[in-house]
Copies of this chain bind each other. A is one copy, B any other.
Amino acid sequence: MRKTITMAAATAGHAEGGTPLNAFDNALLAAGIGNINLIKVSSIVPPEVTLTDLPKIKPGALIPTAYAAITSEVPGETVAAAVGYALPDDPAKPGVIMEFHGVADRETAEQVTERMLEEAFRVRGEVVREMRVVAVEHTVRHVGCALAAVTLLTDEDLV
Contacts and interface: CB of A to CB of B under 8 A. Distances in A.
A32 interface: no
Contact of A25 (B36, B39, B115, B120): B120
A40 B21 CA distance: 15
Chain A interface size range: 35 or more
Contact of A60 (B47, B59, B116): B47
A54 interface: no
A7 interface: no
A100 to B, nearest CB: 8
Interface in A1-40: 1-3, 5, 17-19, 21-22, 24-26, 28-29, 34-40
A102 to B, nearest CB: 11
A49 interface: yes
Interface of A: 1-3, 5, 17-19, 21-22, 24-26, 28-29, 34-47, 49, 58-64, 93-94, 96, 98-100, 112, 115-116, 119-120, 123-124, 152, 154, 156-157
26 contacts: A1-B2, A1-B61, A1-B154, A1-B157, A2-B3, A5-B60, A18-B115, A18-B116, A18-B119, A19-B112, A21-B98, A21-B116, A25-B123, A29-B123, A29-B124, A37-B46, A37-B64, A38-B41, A39-B39, A39-B40, A44-B59, A45-B60, A46-B60, A47-B60, A49-B60, A59-B93
